[in-house]
A and B are shown apart, each in its own frame.
Chain A
């Protein structure tokens, strides 16, 4: 019972990571426009990063097929937009994917930055938020009290804000997005376009989100949280195992936070040591979120018979 939801664990986490990564990449663009810095911030919204976002969303979608009994009938999946949040989620996922791909495509064809790019970026960020909201609504069911509470949308949002920025920063460091400009990490273009502030802001946000996630675990986790749903059982496992899973998640998140603090203390300056710290922080956070999501699906105890 617990293991049959692995595809959904992967689907939700990858989808949330993609949205969080887009937000992280879009922030420099929005701020550079506001501060009158021209389109410099759009350095991060290019064909490589948007391609990466599309791959993440596409891989998530591919994983979701593994939880279907008849995957070839997935063509019918958007037929009930009127009442089904599952239909709406799939539509919003495709909208987010299309808009992110469009931003990358505009870069690919070297189109002159269109006037509507700012609106397009904000619209894409909002479609990502709507995608996350619909994903949470799928689980907020009257028939599953352990899911029908604030913990569901909050934990989904925090997953996006922890994993997304870390993925974006690591990808940008390792796969220089400025290749089109002949860019490398030591290329002044990065400094000019605020690479250091982009990195540090994203890492600080991920670190703060990890700390908030640790606090949320103690307060809202069904069955054991101070304010969470009291009556919750972990399917096929003793209730005490909820605490075991929480401890594992807590240890992994704490490890990720410690690694991020170490990377920040080194000023995130270039070098394989910081790359290694960021990679292990990302892997540790991803493992923590995987444990947390596994626990989430394990708490699906429906009311009634």
Chain B
């Protein structure tokens, strides 16, 4: 892909199509042989809402949707700028990588990334994160998470091309404002994602991610 003039690889996620099966999460963990407590791709279960009074009748107004997130290989990666060792670098194709031989495991990038992407590997004593399965991508194959999704809710490619192919946004609850890091992420929001902004939504599965 690098030879093809890719400037910024990105993920696309269709929240409305995601069933929350977590096949992407499992495929990533399996392919990268990740230890306990490390998940480079995570599926957040968002839920919220309340009863609504409609003409004197109380009707349920609840909603739920899933958000599958990995590293967004940001245009302005705060992890890279904050890393004291220079272990984090951005490739010409936009993939942000951590050099395992240089990282000293200070975990400063963990404080800086609003997406929970850099994760500490207790056994190695260093930070690790999604590498976009760059070896597969260089062979012309999709990353493991994209291949594994049975709903075809995930896609990847050159960011500008993805924007032409799909409509979407970079921010859906519970994600932060995109101006912070300019994430290379396009999300087609779930139809109820707007309700999440009204204040009752929360992530319901923190204990498993």
Contact = CB atoms under 8 A, between A and B. Distances in A.
B67 to A, nearest CB: 8
Interface stretch (A53-61, A84-92, A158-166): A84-92
Interface stretch (A74-82, A112-120, A257-265): A74-82
B86 A80 contact: yes
Given A69-B104, A70-B105, A83-B82, A305 B124 contact: no
B175 A305 contact: yes
A138 B82 CA distance: 9
A84 B83 CA distance: 6
Contacts, number: 98
A302 B105 contact: no
Contacts of B115: 304-305
Interface in B25-84: 42, 44, 69, 78, 80-84
Given A70-B125, A305-B115, A76 B180 contact: no
Given A68-B105, A141-B112, A80 B180 contact: no
Nearest to A71: B104
A304 B111 contact: no
A303 B84 CA distance: 22
Contacts of B83: 80, 84
Nearest to B108: A86
B125 A78 contact: no
A79 B103 CA distance: 11
B103 to A, nearest CB: 7
B81 A84 contact: yes
Nearest to B122: A69
Decide if the interface of chain A is mainly helix, strand, loop or mixed.
loop
B111 A144 contact: yes
Interface in A200-255: none
A69 B125 contact: yes
Nearest to B78: A143
A79 B85 contact: yes
Contacts of B80: 83
B196 to A, nearest CB: 13
27 contacts: A69-B106, A69-B125, A70-B103, A70-B104, A70-B105, A73-B103, A73-B104, A74-B104, A76-B84, A76-B85, A76-B87, A76-B102, A77-B85, A84-B83, A86-B84, A86-B108, A142-B78, A142-B180, A143-B78, A143-B180, A144-B111, A303-B176, A304-B174, A304-B175, A304-B176, A305-B42, A305-B203
Interface of B: 42, 44, 69, 78, 80-87, 102-108, 111-116, 120, 122, 124-127, 174-176, 180, 203
Closest 5 CB pairs between A and B?
Answer: A69-B105, A304-B114, A69-B125, A76-B85, A73-B104
